[in-house]
Structure 1
């Protein structure tokens, strides 16, 4: 074989699709904050003590007694689980959901990724909320879509702005919303705006991806009915990760049958099928209505107490130099901080001082697309730690701000 330079083959570059996807700043940050001395408010991690390990183990033993639990399953998910989910989702949207219109996925992130691939061609426009869920940005970048933002306020997506953009000629293929307890902003899409979003989807022919992994985690009042209850042009995504355990990797989507069929075909090429074992475990837990009601009530009480502890500590430590979202559920608090002289603080730089003090958060810029200045904001997760630890985390954050100047 000749070793001459003239016969060398230049390695082919990576595909354009893969070159256009940026990493998750949050996942990168979690690697940096894994030190045992750091109180990390950066992740969206359920509290370990609220994960029903004993009940999962019991259900796993029961599942393993069924031979099919360790075999390949249908691409769309274990039929038993899809039946449970159809019943569950029917109650949420107020009309029957056929299990044939449900696809069980490897977490709701896979549902989002597959939906993006099904609904978007390269160059299509997708509208996201600003600040945006980072997983959605990754999925839409991988689909080579053009991302356009619509701002959020205390009532969620400003649908009046979306309507104005549509009237001005914007023609998105997809509009994405985290309708309940938004990640990262924490807000809930108001009921009248849900109706307007559904009406705009019908009028202009775009698809709505309603991403709802946090909807069960309300503290004082349940959120309004899903957007999926108002239009057939909505794909609704949800997950067992926040109410049972992330490691089960059970998410799902439902909606238009043709779209679900296309998602199924892509899923065949991605993973062939999910885990029949974890599907059977999740089905057994979700089908036990009495146990699930008590379990979710305990989650609401526990997370609500932690949210109040974090917000109270932040108010005490920062006063009016910190603007906080109204935390009504979910796992996150959104905060914007000003320096001692009243100037806005760059939270990406503040993070360096915070790590020195032993506390971490996600800088607001991680949730941006460049269309909005999020540099003075941060996302704080209150779910993972107890009240005393959250109070200590805020004390460390106060010292970090003072150190930063």
Structure 2
């Protein structure tokens, strides 16, 4: 009688000691957001926060949003699951909006609606980047883009920004030297954080470089419609096909709608839609219905945008005038022509990260330049948003910052009125 072969005896596995739950290796590359941390730190009534890019609550169309919401709730579909790529009415409105901006003939099928443009950027990175892929970003860069690309395992290459936007001579030197990026990310209009705008000549040149070297331009455009003088800048996408445009209703309507969108080459849009299905199935049909009504009412939207531009222009001028009066030659600053941000640099080279703690003691907050740094440490720079508050509060905030920056001053107990 044959017996079964003896099974090998394996030693029992050693127990794993209790401890923190292990995280994916990719998380080591993702640095925390200084802006997120500041929003927590400055959620105090006695701190005037110039840190976050928060649109002004008093300029949001509350009554129109309320009326549109009431109309949306009358339709059962507004509280049901919807298409992954977004409801048809919103995709149609966005396609018409983007066609007018870019001069391209776009239809609803060209649009993927996302939960804010940040989700669009994340899905786009996941759809196009393998670990180790090269990505070009502006230096300084939008913090949210840095986090997305770091999470994707990309290798970042910073290109300096000057008064006319991304330095394309520097970019072309990298390309001529053999760099082959998968993506080139730009906040071309009213840059976050520098506040500058990519010139039209550079926009056309960037599109040509994308065709020549085969990369995809990611045109992140949440601020383009907030131009203080004249029409909005013509998008990079008007000059070439290898461009993915990211747009948002957050800065022009309300962040709580969580409506963003992506318009990209068909294969990219299809990949983003597939990934979105695995991420959240679909967005909110209710807020998309509200956004669709507001974006499709072009006459109302134009009047609303005109009001935003006037108000933000006035706030930008009040802020920069207060900076000039308080600091004089001690600070160099940008001159905002749109958007929400002003970039400051202390000419004595002081460390703004160290200044921040002192500023919060004096009741004001900003984002240190180092939060946006890729290669250049930017330790003497800072970003301020002038959008959130009316002019008198902005002037008070600058006075608080000046007191914090002055030597041997005691903290202020003043609060905003």
Normalising by the smaller structure, the TM-score range is over 0.9
Match of 2:366 in 1: 361
Q: Does 1:128 align with 2:137?
A: yes
CA apart distance, 1:186:
0.3
Match of 2:414 in 1: none
- CA change 1:119–1:252 in 2 (3 A) is same
Match of 2:389 in 1: 385
CA apart distance, 1:221:
2.7
Match 1:284 to one of 293, 311, 315: 293
Match of 1:303 in 2: 312
Match of 2:264 in 1: 255
- 3-state SS, counterpart of residue 268 of structure 2: helix
Question: TM-score under structure 1 normalisation?
Answer: 0.96
Q: Does 1:140 align with 2:149?
A: yes
Aligned equivalents of 2:407, 2:15: Cα separation in 1: 55
Aligned equivalents of 1:404, 1:271: Cα separation in 2: 52
Moved more, 259-268 or 18-27: 18-27
- 3-state SS, counterpart of residue 72 of structure 1: coil
- 3-state SS, counterpart of residue 242 of structure 1: coil
CA apart distance, 1:101:
1.2
Unaligned residue ranges in structure 1 (runs of 5+): none
Q: Does 1:231 align with 2:236?
A: no
CA apart distance, 1:373:
2.5
CA apart distance, 1:289:
1.1
C-alpha offsets along residues 350-379 of structure 1, whole Å, 9 cap, x if unaligned?
11111111111000000012x102000000
Match of 2:378 in 1: 374
Give aligned pairs, total: 396
Match of 1:8 in 2: 15
Match 2:124 to one of 107, 115, 124: 115
Match 1:195 to one of 177, 197, 204: 204
CA apart distance, 1:98:
1.8
- CA change 1:44–1:404 in 2 (3 A) is farther
CA apart distance, 1:403:
3.3
- CA change 1:117–1:200 in 2 (3 A) is same
- 3-state SS, counterpart of residue 23 of structure 1: coil
Aligned equivalents of 1:20, 1:345: Cα separation in 2: 28
Match of 2:357 in 1: 352
CA contact (8 A) 1:353 1:404 kept: no
Match of 1:294 in 2: 303
- 3-state SS, counterpart of residue 403 of structure 1: coil
CA apart distance, 1:222:
2.9
Q: Does 1:184 align with 2:193?
A: yes
CA contact (8 A) 1:210 1:234 kept: yes
Aligned equivalents of 1:253, 1:304: Cα separation in 2: 28
CA apart distance, 1:217:
0.5
Match of 2:6 in 1: none
Match of 1:315 in 2: 324
CA contact (8 A) 2:226 2:232 kept: no
CA contact (8 A) 1:122 1:145 kept: yes
Aligned equivalents of 1:153, 1:134: Cα separation in 2: 18
CA apart distance, 1:16:
1.4
- 3-state SS, counterpart of residue 253 of structure 1: strand
Aligned equivalents of 1:172, 1:283: Cα separation in 2: 35
Q: Does 1:52 align with 2:54?
A: no
- 3-state SS, counterpart of residue 176 of structure 1: strand
CA apart distance, 1:9:
3.0
Aligned equivalents of 1:372, 1:19: Cα separation in 2: 21
Aligned equivalents of 2:230, 2:382: Cα separation in 1: 25
Larger Rg: 2
CA contact (8 A) 1:350 1:404 kept: no
Moved more, 11-20 or 35-44: 11-20
- CA change 1:344–1:70 in 2 (3 A) is same
Aligned equivalents of 2:44, 2:286: Cα separation in 1: 33
Aligned equivalents of 1:177, 1:316: Cα separation in 2: 32
- CA change 1:404–1:147 in 2 (3 A) is farther
Q: Does 1:401 align with 2:405?
A: yes
CA apart distance, 1:10:
5.1
Aligned equivalents of 1:211, 1:320: Cα separation in 2: 33
CA contact (8 A) 2:224 2:233 kept: no
CA contact (8 A) 2:320 2:335 kept: no
C-alpha offsets along residues 145-164 of structure 1, whole Å, 9 cap, x if unaligned?
00110000000000111011
Question: TM-score under structure 2 normalisation?
Answer: 0.93
